[in-house]
Copies of this chain bind each other. A is one copy, B any other.
């Protein structure tokens, strides 16, 4: 199906928006009237600009407060419409959106609404223009699509049809199955938006919190299927009002938007993509550090041993169990210090995983093959983290570890860390919904619910994505304020089967864990009936504790090096979370450590 987006969904001038929309690969565009009015381009210039960019103008919108008015107002409304028809002819647009009236002057009179819309359609038809009538969820008298359809049916004019909008229908709690009872040739347009499920005034919800399909909680794919079954053949067009997208980079948002539609078409079975290849776990995590020495020391004390050295680059491989860390001394950002730059994902079929990612607009990372280097299948996530699809030590596929020559460091004492349990990626402020959609659609991971974590200087949002079997877990966090963009640390969590033994060993090896206050343990004692010896051990070692109905979670944190820190975790039973209840304590302790270290808070 053709893919389109309303200009209001993006940031910038009309010219910037059109450029971003075309660059992302959309077929068409809805021109939002205010974007035209506020800009310097004439309608003719917009027409030629869109044509040059290969975009079709699918819709001109919105025309408001037209129908079911007294005759004296109707004349003015028709006059207003004639002005807009003339404008649309200059623009080369032949479909106009008419929203159900919100005017206090509008009558609750379907026959009158139908008669006046018919007059409008007659006028439109004279210009070769058609009218798509849409029920706003907050319309004065017409607020459901089936009500709008009764009026359109009664008006009975070939230039008058319906516009369906997934937000207006699903936010209102309407049953979209009735769409299938509408003749397909009367479905003139289909606008799509998702939204997080919130109990709030629908107008505010619509104006500020809409998001792209797959980012919210509505079954937008189901609605598309009903429209397609009804015979709808027009474009799938996104119309999203979102406070964050209004501020974000238009080019990035447009790519995110098209990814959303591609993923939606897969879900609605109106388009196909290469099947997702869900990673089973982490092959490695790569840290960039211009000065790798502090991380070498920390990894060594955590029981990691250096086992290899890249044959062509200044990259070391450190390993413990199947937890592998690459230490890359090239190209690190010296200002912010060491940071997490890439993840290796164990994947059944790396080539298929890359094809999936490419089809969903993920940029493929150029593979610099040099000499004996093993080809790597890699794409970039929206936050710039590179994702390498790997098969470690499998005979059926080139092995990335072949690029590393054995270079054992001093023999360390392993501390019982077995693998990477999860990584936590702090997303720039504008990219949170985009990141969730990326990991969900590209890697086929399932998002958990979105949480709020209280940092001393604002609320973090956090949402985890994970494979069905829990083999791959990524926590996506967004820092409270744009001032903190990218500056808050990421982290890597290592799993152990015996956190007490592990912590005793790493402490003996010199690891300073994040100090926690006695108050935390007093509260733990009040909340949970832990046996006194266990509690004393937790208190002694600085281990945090959580439980849910399925199991228990024990965890602790190292100090932060540059933009990265490590977590040690033990899961017992079927505990599925990440210790969110302890996040406030951890965040406060980290802020306090930063302040003690005179690290400027940004």
Contacts and interface: CB of A to CB of B under 8 A. Distances in A.
Counting chain A residues whose Cβ lies within 8 A of the other chain, the interface size class is: 35 or more
A13 B517 contact: no
Contact of A247 (B16, B457, B522, B527): B457
Given A43-B519, A247-B480, A13 B83 contact: no
Given A37-B517, A517-B38, A517-B39, A529 B246 contact: no
B480 A481 contact: no
Nearest to A75: B529
A585 interface: yes
Interface in A60-112: 76, 79-80, 83-84, 87
A246 B526 contact: no
B247 A12 contact: no
A178 interface: no
A12 B36 CA distance: 45
A374 interface: no
Interface in A409-444: none
A216 interface: no
Contacts of A515: 40
Given A481-B482, A482-B481, A483-B482, A38 B83 contact: no
Contact of A198 (B34, B43, B200, B595): B200
Nearest to A529: B76
A526 B39 contact: no
A215 interface: no
Copies of this chain in the oligomer? 2
A527 B33 CA distance: 13
Contacts of A517: 37-42
Interface in A231-273: 243, 246-247
A246 B458 contact: yes
A394 interface: no
A523 interface: yes
A555 to B, nearest CB: 16
Interface string A527-538: 101000000000
A13 B588 contact: yes
Nearest to A33: B523
A522 B88 CA distance: 12
A12 B456 contact: yes
A204 interface: yes
B199 A13 contact: no
A526 B525 CA distance: 70
Interface string A1-12: 000000000011
A352 interface: no
A83 B525 contact: yes
Nearest to A17: B456
B87 A522 contact: yes
Given A456-B12, A526-B83, A34 B584 contact: yes
A11 B38 CA distance: 39
Contacts of A591: 13
Nearest to A452: B207
B37 A519 contact: yes
Interface in A125-162: none
B199 A198 contact: no
A588 B204 contact: no
A201 interface: yes
A592 interface: yes
A295 interface: no
Task: List the 3 closest A-B pairs by CB distance, nearest first.
Answer: A83-B526, A200-B200, A38-B588
Contacts of A529: 76, 79
B37 A585 contact: yes
A558 B377 CA distance: 55
A429 to B, nearest CB: 9
Nearest to A243: B459
A220 B132 CA distance: 47
Nearest to A587: B38
Contacts of A11: 456-458
A584 B33 CA distance: 12
B84 A480 contact: no
Contacts of A459: 243, 246
A190 to B, nearest CB: 25
Given A11-B456, A199-B200, A527 B80 contact: yes
Given A13-B591, A246-B480, 10 more contacts: A37-B517, A37-B523, A38-B520, A40-B515, A42-B518, A83-B522, A87-B522, A207-B452, A243-B480, A247-B457
Nearest to A525: B83
A290 interface: no
A480 to B, nearest CB: 5
A51 to B, nearest CB: 18
Interface in A1-54: 11-13, 16, 33-34, 36-43
